[in-house]
Amino acid sequence: MNYTEIMVRYGELSTKGKNRGKFIGRLARNIKQVLADLPELTIDAQRDRTHIILNGAPYEEVAERLTKVFGIQNFSPSIKVEKTVPAIKAAVAELMTDIYKEGMTFKITAKRSDHNFELDSTELNRELGGVVFDTIEYAKVQMKAPDLNLRVEIRPDACYLSYETIKGAGGLPVGTSGRGMLMLSGGIDSPVAGYLALKRGVEIEAVHFASPPYTSPGALDKAKRLTEKLTSFGGNIQFIEVPFTEIQEEIKEKVPQAYLMTITRRFMMRVTDEIRNRREGSIIINGESLGQVASQTLGSMVVINEVTNTPVIRPVVTMDKLEIIEIAQDIDTFEISIEPYEDCCTIFAPPSPKTNPKLKHAMAYESRMDVEGLVKRAVDGIMISTVEKEGTNKSQEEEILADFL
């Protein structure tokens, strides 16, 4: 099928009132980012829809990428036709001959935004329905839930035909809900948490703790590959590597085994919060799931959370492991997550960690350490890199971003 454009419909944006323009602008920017390496495209964002003019670009590739852009409710590939009754009738006959199969039902849904066109919507429905009956002898109309709904839209510049509606990713455009720091381990849960935060419009930066030589370069590479998978949904992501060896060795030396995990997680939270502060983020996001491990009981979460007043968002907190795995498989992070590299959370994991730690004990153990100094040195030593979506053409992307400045 020689489609000429893709018509994108918005999701929750219709409820945004006076902020609607801001949301649509951000969605347009995100669409342009994911399609930046297809220079043939022309993208026109309007109040109710965005039109992506293909200009010969491959439709299938564009459609595949659009299914991962949050803020899109659905979209339809369309065919542009000269805006005259004979041309429209001829196009409808040709299209229906190509796609209509015996046993199917159909209806015509016409919409006339150009009110100067000679036929109104009702007349178009009737005339074009007649064309279908004249062209296909076994055609059968059905107004409710037909197998094929041919949409005919009369716009000022031309007529557009479409019959497919492809479901979008839903949610909100990434970047419209602020920015947060994602605590990204190499496990299954945190990439899923990042994906769900992106879906609600949060721009994420990935914070990964590395403890060489206890953790390997393979573990670091794994975290970056997981981040790369998330770029399919939110564009380029800042990857922040935190040197965590000094803190972990200090904890191992001065904290009883049962509290190793609790104190480690408290330090991770402090470091992430300080990074958030320096980089002007709004929230912390992590992959904690209630009751999954010792550090994720309610008692542990209360003690760990005590080190910060920053909102901590836990998108998977109420999910079962199988539910999380299902999402991980859908977003293609699962196979990477199960690669056998140890991360900071597992290298010094005690055999019997406290599942209901006491805050006073945690604070007493931490009083043996230079908490502020350890956190400062870790944050001062962070290394920041940009994880880009595969195939991104940087110069094109910078040019696109400049359009919105």
Q: Token pair of 242, please?
A: 């935190």
CB 72 within 8 A of CB 27: yes
C-alpha dist (Å) from residue 400 to 124, 169, 173, 277, 298: 40, 23, 17, 29, 45
130 contact partners, CB below 8 Å, separation of at least 6: none
* Burial (0-12, 13-18, 19+ Cβ within 10 Å), 369: middle
**Confidence (pLDDT) at 191:** 97
State the alpha helices, DSSP H only, in 279-370: 298-305, 321-330, 334-337, 344-347, 359-366
pLDDT digits (tens, 9 = 90+) for 262-316: 999 999 999 999 999 999 999 999 999 988 877 789 999 999 999 999 999 999 9
CA-based nearest residue to 71, from 167, 3, 158, 170: 170
C-alpha of 220 from chain center = 22
Q: What gap in Å lies between CA 145 and CA 105, rounded to an integer? A: 9
**Confidence (pLDDT) at 394:** 46
**Confidence (pLDDT) at 395:** 42
CB 65 within 8 A of CB 38: no
Low-confidence ranges of the chain (pLDDT < 50): 393-405
CB 219 within 8 A of CB 244: no
CA-based nearest residue to 248, from 126, 342, 361, 140: 342
Any idea which residue has 């999910």 for tokens?
319
**Confidence (pLDDT) at 234:** 80
C-alpha dist (Å) from residue 25 to 17, 53, 71, 127, 205: 14, 18, 11, 38, 22
CB 84 within 8 A of CB 114: no
CB 76 within 8 A of CB 162: yes
**Confidence (pLDDT) at 123:** 94
Any idea which residue has 């005919």 for tokens?
152
C-alpha dist (Å) from residue 291 to 48, 66, 285, 296, 301: 44, 36, 18, 5, 10
**Confidence (pLDDT) at 391:** 52
Q: Which phi and psi angles does 47 have, rounded to 5°?
A: -60, -40
Q: Token pair of 20, please?
A: 């609607």
Helix, strand or coil for residue 223? Answer: helix
Longest dimension (CA), the chain: 88
**Confidence (pLDDT) at 15:** 67
C-alpha of 116 from chain center = 41
**Confidence (pLDDT) at 337:** 94
Q: What gap in Å lies between CA 333 and CA 224, rounded to an integer? A: 11
Helix, strand or coil for residue 72? Answer: strand
Contacts of 216-222 with CB under 8 Å at 24 or more apart are 216/341, 216/342, 218/339, 218/341, 219/186, 219/341, 219/342, 219/343, 222/186, 222/336, 222/337, 222/339, 222/341
Q: What gap in Å lies between CA 363 and CA 53, rounded to an integer? A: 60
Q: What gap in Å lies between CA 129 and CA 89, rounded to an integer? A: 10
Q: What gap in Å lies between CA 67 and CA 223, rounded to an integer? A: 24
CA-based nearest residue to 354, from 214, 270, 245, 255: 255
**Confidence (pLDDT) at 400:** 41
